[in-house]
Amino acid sequence: MATSPLDHLDDEISRLLAEISALASLDELIAAEATLTGRRSVLSTLQKSLGSLEPEERRTAGAQLQAARREVESALEVRRGLLEAQSRAQVLERDRLDLGDVVTEQVPWTTSVGHPGLVALTQRALEDVFVGMGFTVSDGPEVESDWYNFEALNIPPAHPARGLWDTFYVELGEPETVVLRTHTSPTQVHLMETAVATGTLPIHSVMPGRCYRRDTPDARHLYTFHQIEGLVIDRGITFADLAGVIETFTRAYFGPDITSRLRPGYFPFTEPSAEFEVTCTICRGEGCRTCSFTGWIELGGCGMVDPAVLAAVGVDAEEWSGFAFGFGIDRCAQMRHQLSDMRALTENDARFLEQFS
Ligand code: DAH
């Protein structure tokens, strides 16, 4: 029988397969590729030698050689996949952080930049509503003298109404003469004094800001909280103007299905005085635990500025009259977002804060 160039093909294949499975790294594999399957390989040499065969034999031998090449190439790919996986595992193992060690690696900064908190957002929304109604926005100090926080507001020393505000006193000057403001009403006094001194009456302004009271925090009270005060001093102002502003604000801020009502109340700086209530936003007026089944929630106080207050700051009560109101910004946030506990506003829990932006 005539010899064929492929007589030892099976042995060659076995040798190549053994060589492939001995390759120990990707580098070795890449270096060996040319001699295993490339131009310098036994397979390529055999391929060339087929040219000397008869056409019939050449076809059979060619097919045989093709099959052999496929077998070797696929063994090589399997080996490549295995070595790549091993090398990946080595990199991971090498780069693994031992949590027992001090970690000095710098990780990319992924924390978000943050945004204003719910109270600040609520304050802005309230300011927007009032600015839309023609009010300016004014600021006042958080540390006040007794005069601004109480006396000018018709609350003389030892007046029983002082009991309405549990006051933090600041250790400055005579005892109990400097306070952390218990409400934003003292800012009214500053505005009126300035307007009288500069001849710039009338006033249409809102005054948002932080207030302090010696209260025990609970679901509806904080000892550091926020109010927004409103003051209008102009000619011919009546209680109807006050009621109209309160109602317009209520619908603009809470929505058209929420309305307001005024109930007789008492504040030393307004006469008459009223408590300002809005439809309970939890039950929409049906009556629920939050509103004590009345359908209404108290938001703040209001009234016509008492002539004694106008006199204290030198506004001529013959020419000017006005109304004022004040209510809680935190309470608005609570009602608008149906917060069951107002203390969430001060606890800085990111899971709470992230819900509002
Ligand atoms: N200052 C009052 C408080 O903190 C709220 C208030 C009531 C403000 C009547 C006003 C007002 O301007 O007219 O309880």
DSSP assigned state of 284: T
Instruction: Output the pLDDT for position 290.
Output: 84
Ligand 1 pocket test, pick from 204, 325, 329 with the greatest ligand atom count within 8 Å of Cβ, gives 325
Residue indicated by tokens 């004040």: 326
Return d(Cα 292, Cα 77) in angstroms, integer: 76
Instruction: Give this prediction's pTM.
Output: 0.70
Return d(Cα 65, Cα 62) in angstroms, integer: 5
Amino acid residing at 63: A
Strand 136-137 and strand 203-212: the pairing is parallel
Amino acid residing at 65: L
Ligand 1 pocket test, pick from 148, 180, 185, 246 with the greatest ligand atom count within 8 Å of Cβ, gives 185
Tell me: the pLDDT tens digits for 245-273? 999 999 999 999 999 999 999 999 999 99
Residue nearest to atom 3 of ligand 1 (CA): 183
Instruction: Output the pLDDT for position 39.
Output: 84
Amino acid residing at 336: R
Does ligand 1 lie within 6 Å of residue 208's CB atom? no
Q: In angstroms, what CA-CA distances link 56 with 51, 60, 249?
A: 12, 7, 100
As a whole number of Å, the end-to-end CA separation of the chain is: 90
In ligand 1, the atom with minimum distance to the C-alpha of 185 is 1
Share of the chain above pLDDT 90, in %: 71
Return d(Cα 38, Cα 40) in angstroms, integer: 6
What architecture is the 118-356 domain classified under in CATH? 2-Layer Sandwich (3.30)
Lowest mean pLDDT among 37-46, 92-101, 156-165: 92-101
- Structural domain boundaries in the chain: 9-95, 118-356
Does ligand 1 lie within 6 Å of residue 301's CB atom? yes
In ligand 1, the atom with minimum distance to the C-alpha of 227 is 4
Mean of pLDDT values over 162-181 = 92
In ligand 1, the atom with minimum distance to the C-alpha of 274 is 9
| Model confidence band, residue 94 (pLDDT cutoffs 50, 70, 90) | confident
Q: How far is the CA of 201 from the centre of ligand 1 (A)?
A: 21
Return d(Cα 154, Cα 113) in angstroms, integer: 46
Return d(Cα 34, Cα 247) in angstroms, integer: 88
Record the tokens describing residue 220, joined without a space. Answer: 């509806």
Lowest mean pLDDT among 161-175, 254-268, 322-336: 161-175
Does ligand 1 lie within 6 Å of residue 41's CB atom? no
Beta strands in 213-330 (DSSP E): 224-234, 260-265, 270-279, 296-305, 321-328
Does ligand 1 lie within 6 Å of residue 267's CB atom? yes
Does ligand 1 lie within 6 Å of residue 185's CB atom? yes
Strand 296-305 and strand 321-328: the pairing is antiparallel
